[in-house]
Amino acid sequence: MKRAGKYAVLGLAVAAAASVPRIGQAPAPAAALSPERSEICVTGAAPHAHDGAAHSQARVRQGARVAEPGSRVSARVAEQVERELDRQKITGKLLRATGDKKWIHVPVRFHVLHNGTKGKLTKKALKEQIKVLDAAYQGRKGGVDTRINFYLKQITWTKNKNWFKQPRRYEKAFKKKLRRGGDSTLNIYTADLGTELLGWASMPWDYKKNPVLDGLVIHHGSLPGGKIKDYDLGYTAVHEVGHWLGLYHTFGRNYPDQDGCAAGDLVGDTPSQKEPTEGCPKNAPDSCPAWGRDPIHNFMDYAHDKCMTEFTRGQAERMRNAWARYRP
């Protein structure tokens, strides 16, 4: 999630040329707290009513002092993931040598949690968010083209005051009720995350053990044209999708327990960065002894939205390897 100060998370706090990958079926929904009122899904498959039946990364606003929901990745898990991605990297190189340059196509299911007029996003706003995702991941804002594209599969609207106002508390309940699709489907939930937190995301290697929690939760005010000053261009979702595709923060996988100079993001072409960026500095600092100035324009930092412009080639390769390993 985006950072809101030293202890922020990267979530958003207030942070075609290939075949479409398979979309499996999510586990049967378990009993969940009933919405105050059911509403109808208006896009995707046939319209239907909702009958009322460990985060990984997050982003926060500048100056926030909230704890990052489950953002730290243990050394044991990180080591295992790197072994698996190293094996996948070798396979990927062999595939690229035979001309495999396929696009990754990601179906997106938006779940709008709201309380009447509060947070009830329009279809137009959600389509604008899809455009921002495509522009960021295809290098149209700077950086590399990751050859990943996103397309709108479904929208649901659910009125429930508790789910909307307390998404961390009720996350498991609304995800059990609303989540659809398999490991390659991106479920995005919008809600009121308060005045510090911008969003959070699951990591791809967590899907197998806890598929119902897979996806993103982002502040409804962080979408393009939203009401959160400095975080209103839609880059909270861009940042959180980066986690969903296997990227750590540029300031390290274990911040603040370890600074980024020590832990790093395990991507070779992003310079080391001690701690998250605040605001949008005119000049990038050089906070670590290793090569390069802090990557303040990278989507996986905590800078203001206007400062974020790029993914690196190494990040693109890591996301594609993680997709092939965990979301095929």
Dist CA 322 CA 328 (whole Å): 9
- What does the angle CA 181 – CA 299 – CA 100 come to, to the nearest 5 degrees? 60
- In the annotation, is 278 catalytic? no
Dist CA 16 CA 11 (whole Å): 30
Peptide bond into 281 cis (omega under 30): no
Q: Give 3-state DSSP helix, strand, coil % of the chain, rounded to 5.
A: 30, 15, 55
Q: Which residue has the tokens 């498959």?
A: 45
Report residue 202 as tokens: 């699951």
Are 64 and 13 a contacting pair, CB within 8 Å?
yes
**Spatial CA neighbour of 251 closest among 7, 78, 62:** 7
Q: How far apart are the first and last CA of the chain?
A: 25
Interacting residues of 86 by C-beta distance below 8 A, sequence separation 6+: none
Residue 78: CA atoms inside 13 Å, Cβ hemisphere, count? 16
Catalytically annotated residue among 240, 275, 310, 317: 240
Coil vs helix vs strand at 57: strand
- Name the H helices within the chain: 75-97, 123-137, 161-165, 171-178, 235-244, 260-263, 313-326
Q: Which residues are catalytic?
A: 240
